């Protein structure tokens, strides 16, 4: 069994496929749609319309960039407020045309720069979560690498949440946690363990509905499996009315909480 | 006299003096409380505990608390959490970081939640999320407006991913309340950050803030480290948010009840 610290390092490896790689494999004739219609276009989030196994869908993905110049262009996959606002614009559009939404998330978190604060990073994420919770069309999220806190949840308030087997999902970066707890950011492994961040932890806690096997050597086969999972989930979800979908999503998240009376 | 008796019997220690964090002058606790926790010397807004905030805001005798008995659980065996909870409960005298209930303000019925920054920095775990969710569910059922005084260091990392899920849970309840055509007013108080800013603090129909309150998503130090530049003094203060369009109005403490009452009146809430 791998430790949480080892999983964390694997989830962050540069050679993992990026969000755009999944879109290329899974979505036929994708048309990328840009911009939030408010401020700008955030390259850290890519979204558009295309066909998934014959079903028109809206796809939204974070992307860290494949090489250094692309990484800089995409801000290492850390979205800014305009990224979340673009995502919400595309989700509303999907809702209008009754298209399902498929999200792929791999981000260390929302961008923590002064520019993001000025443009309301908190408000953008809050609106995204609120919007997703009430969305009257199916939405499925797959966490493919790092699920970094609110910046990941902003694209993961979904009907179904899947994780790749070495993906992680965490309320705070293990480094940040270690520095708060022990004033020592090098105790990453201990913090990762304490936080319970692995896909297997998420399955156990009910945060993830399923864990998807990774096989990057056979990426085509791996994506065929993802396509099958998405297709079978959509077959179920597209039969449900928008109102009932939102109600089901509410119940899905309503149950999270462990406390004493 | 009564305080010392209480101390002897219950072992509760009430600090007798408060030092202004800005001008460093020391005041009697009673004097500071009578001044609504605004420093009588320099005018600095001090942080207010949830009980005091409720007393300052609602009509006398109108507050009925809900879900007061919920308390947090160290379900991940997280290092130090159990001790931290015990210490916070003892020093603050509350079960967790938010107090919820039904009250009237200026004679108008409303649901209210107030977060308490003294309790583990009002971080949001299962209990905070559950209590606020239940309050919104009740308010939706009873057709009541919700007034929320926010303060928080963010999600409670000691509860791992479950604390993050509270953001979605509360947001879902806010959405249902909103869909029912009901009013939600948030009052951002010092400090409102992290996961609370990135969820229900910023979901109000009307967003008010106290003067000088720190409100942001990322912590100031994190932003400085990320960008490698020093930030202006007013960065992430209520006035900064107002300028950038994220706050409807900054309301001084002495005008808060009047402002809330007027806003409630403007939303067709009947005077009871």
CATH code of residue B82: 3.90.226.10
A112, A126, A134 member nearest B218 (Cβ): A112
Burial profile A191-221: b = 16 or more Cβ within 10 angstroms, e = fewer: bbbbbbbbbbbbeebebbbebbebeeeeeee
pLDDT tens per residue, range A34-84: 999 999 999 999 999 999 999 999 999 999 999 999 999 999 999 999 999
Same domain, B26 and B119: no
Nearest-neighbour CA in chain A from B151: distance (Å)? 14
In this predicted structure, the answer to whether residue A136 has a pLDDT above a threshold of 50 is yes
In a domain, B257, yes or no: yes
Contacts of A3 (CB under 8 A, 6+ apart): A189, A192, A193
Same domain, B208 and B124: yes
In a domain, B271, yes or no: no
pLDDT tens per residue, range B184-231: 999 999 999 999 999 999 999 999 999 999 999 998 888 988 888 889
Residue A194 to residue B168, Cβ atoms within 8 A: no
Same domain, B92 and B34: no
> Which residues of chain A neighbour B179 with C-beta distances below 8 Å?
134
- The pLDDT score that the predictor gives to residue B160 is 98
A21/A41 Cα distance (integer angstroms): 20
Q: With CA atoms as reference, report the closest residue to A197 among B41, B127, B159, B147.
A: B159
- Best mutation target, B164, B184, B247, to test chain A (most A CBs within 10 A): B164
- The pLDDT score that the predictor gives to residue B228 is 85
Per the CB < 8 A criterion, the answer to whether B122 and B50 are in contact is no
A123, A127, A257 member nearest B166 (Cβ): A257
In this predicted structure, the answer to whether residue A26 has a pLDDT above a threshold of 60 is yes
- The pLDDT score that the predictor gives to residue A181 is 87
> Which residues of chain A neighbour B176 with C-beta distances below 8 Å?
250
Q: In a 3-state reduction of DSSP, which class is residue A177? A: helix
Residue pairs spanning A and B at CB distance below 8 A: 185
Q: In a 3-state reduction of DSSP, which class is residue A63? A: coil
- The pLDDT score that the predictor gives to residue A1 is 81
Q: Which residue has the tokens 């840009």?
A: A34
CATH level 3 topology of A4-232: 2-enoyl-CoA Hydratase; Chain A, domain 1 (3.90.226)
pLDDT tens per residue, range A113-135: 999 999 999 999 999 999 999 99
| Domain coverage including residue B38 | 1-46
Q: Is A185 on the interface with B (CB under 8 A)?
A: no
> Which residues of chain A neighbour B203 with C-beta distances below 8 Å?
126-127, 130
Q: Is A253 on the interface with B (CB under 8 A)?
A: yes
Nearest-neighbour CA in chain B from A132: distance (Å)? 9
User: Mean pLDDT, chain A, as a whole number?
Assistant: 97
| Furthest CA-CA distance within chain B | 55
What share of chain A in percent tops pLDDT 90? 97
Nearest-neighbour CA in chain B from A224: distance (Å)? 29
pLDDT tens per residue, range A97-112: 999 999 999 999 999 9
Cα separations (Å) of A123 from A75, A90, A102, B168? Answer: 20, 17, 23, 14
Residue B161 to residue A258, Cβ atoms within 8 A: no
Same domain, B10 and B108: no
Mean pLDDT by 10 residues, chain B (272 residues): 51 73 94 94 95 97 97 97 97 97 97 97 98 98 98 97 98 98 98 98 98 95 86 94 98 98 86 54
Instruction: Name the token pair of A115.
Output: 């520019």
Q: Averaged over A194-200, what is the pLDDT?
A: 98
The total number of residues shown for chain B amounts to: 272
Same domain, B19 and B142: no
- The total number of structural domains in chain B stands at 2
Q: Which residue has the tokens 């791999």?
A: A106
- The pLDDT score that the predictor gives to residue A188 is 96
Residue A129 to residue B226, Cβ atoms within 8 A: no
Same domain, B27 and B10: yes
Q: Averaged over A182-200, what is the pLDDT?
A: 95
- For residue B119, how far is the Cα from the chain centroid? 11
A80/A82 Cα distance (integer angstroms): 5
Query: What are the respective helix, strand and coil percentages of chain A, to the nearest 5?
Result: 45, 20, 35
Q: Is A244 on the interface with B (CB under 8 A)?
A: no
Q: With CA atoms as reference, report the closest residue to B39 among B55, B25, B53.
A: B25
Q: Which ranges of chain A would DSSP assign to H, the alpha helix?
A: 4-11, 19-26, 68-73, 81-96, 114-118, 121-133, 149-153, 174-182, 188-195, 199-205, 219-237, 242-254
In a domain, B272, yes or no: no
- The pLDDT score that the predictor gives to residue B1 is 45
> Which residues of chain A neighbour B78 with C-beta distances below 8 Å?
194-195
A117, A180, A250 member nearest B223 (Cβ): A117
B129/B117 Cα distance (integer angstroms): 15
Angle, vertex CA A217, rays to CA A212 and CA A219, nearest 5: 55
In a domain, B259, yes or no: yes
- The pLDDT score that the predictor gives to residue B270 is 54
Same domain, B122 and B164: yes
- The pLDDT score that the predictor gives to residue B226 is 84
The A residues from 67 to 96 touching B (CB cutoff 8 Å) are none
Q: Is A165 exposed, middle or buried (0-12, 13-18, 19+ CB in 10 A)?
A: middle
A250/B268 Cα distance (integer angstroms): 28
Contacts of B24 (CB under 8 A, 6+ apart): none
Same domain, B19 and B53: no
Q: With CA atoms as reference, report the closest residue to A212 among A77, A138, A104.
A: A104
Kind and range of the H or E run holding B148:
strand B146-152
């Amino acid at each position: 069994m791998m430790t949480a610290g080892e999983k964390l390092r694997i989830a962050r490896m540069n050679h993992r496929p990026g969000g755009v790689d999944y879109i290329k494999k899974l979505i036929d004739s994708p048309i990328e749609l840009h911009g939030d219609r408010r401020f700008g276009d955030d390259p850290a989030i890519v979204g558009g319309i295309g066909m998934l196994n014959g079903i028109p869908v809206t796809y939204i993905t974070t992307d860290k960039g494949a090489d250094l110049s692309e990484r800089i262009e995409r801000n290492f996959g850390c979205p800014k407020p305009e990224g979340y606002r673009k995502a919400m614009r595309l989700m509303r559009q999907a809702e209008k045309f009754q298209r399902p939404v498929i999200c792929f998330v791999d981000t260390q978190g929302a961008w923590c720069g002064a520019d993001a604060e000025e443009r309301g990073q908190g408000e953008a994420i809050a609106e995204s979560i609120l919007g997703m919770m009430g969305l009257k069309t199916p939405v499925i999220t797959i966490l493919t690498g790092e699920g970094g806190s609110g910046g990941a949840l902003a694209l993961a308030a979904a009907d179904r949440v899947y994780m790749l087997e070495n993906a992680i999902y965490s309320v705070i970066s293990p480094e940040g946690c270690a520095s708060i707890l022990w004033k020592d950011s090098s105790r990453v492994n201990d913090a990762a363990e304490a936080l319970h961040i692995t896909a297997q932890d998420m399955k156990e806690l009910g945060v993830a509905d399923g864990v998807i096997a990774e096989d990057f050597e056979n990426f085509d086969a791996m994506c065929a499996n993802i396509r099958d999972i998405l297709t079978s989930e959509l077959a179920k979800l597209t039969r449900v009315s928008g109102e009932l979908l939102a109600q089901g999503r509410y119940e899905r998240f309503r149950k999270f909480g462990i406390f004493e009376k | 006299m009564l305080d010392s008796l209480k101390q002897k019997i219950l072992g509760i220690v009430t600090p007798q003096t408060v030092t202004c964090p800005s001008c460093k002058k020391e005041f009697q606790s009673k004097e500071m409380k009578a001044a609504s926790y605004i420093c009588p010397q320099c005018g600095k807004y001090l942080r207010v505990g949830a009980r005091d905030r409720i007393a300052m805001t609602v009509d006398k005798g109108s507050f009925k608390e809900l879900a007061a008995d919920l308390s947090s659980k160290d379900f991940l065996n997280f290092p130090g959490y159990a001790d931290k909870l015990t210490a916070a409960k003892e020093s603050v005298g509350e079960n967790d970081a938010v107090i919820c209930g039904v009250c009237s303000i200026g004679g108008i019925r409303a649901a209210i939640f107030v977060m308490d920054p003294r309790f583990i920095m009002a971080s949001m775990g299962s209990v905070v999320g559950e209590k606020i969710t239940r309050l919104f569910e009740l308010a939706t059922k009873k057709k009541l407006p919700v007034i929320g005084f926010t303060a928080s260091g963010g999600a409670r990392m000691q509860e791992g991913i479950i604390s993050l899920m509270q953001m979605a849970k509360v947001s879902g309840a806010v959405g249902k309340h909103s869909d029912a055509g009901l009013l939600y007013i948030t009052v951002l108080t010092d400090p409102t950050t992290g996961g609370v800013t990135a969820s229900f603090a910023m979901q109000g129909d009307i967003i008010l803030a106290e003067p000088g309150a720190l409100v942001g998503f990322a912590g100031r130090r994190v932003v400085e480290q990320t960008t490698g530049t020093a930030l202006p003094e007013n960065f992430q203060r209520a006035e900064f948010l107002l300028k950038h369009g994220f706050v409807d109005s900054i309301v001084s403490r002495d005008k808060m009840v009047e402002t809330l009452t007027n806003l409630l009146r403007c939303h067709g809430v009947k005077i009871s």
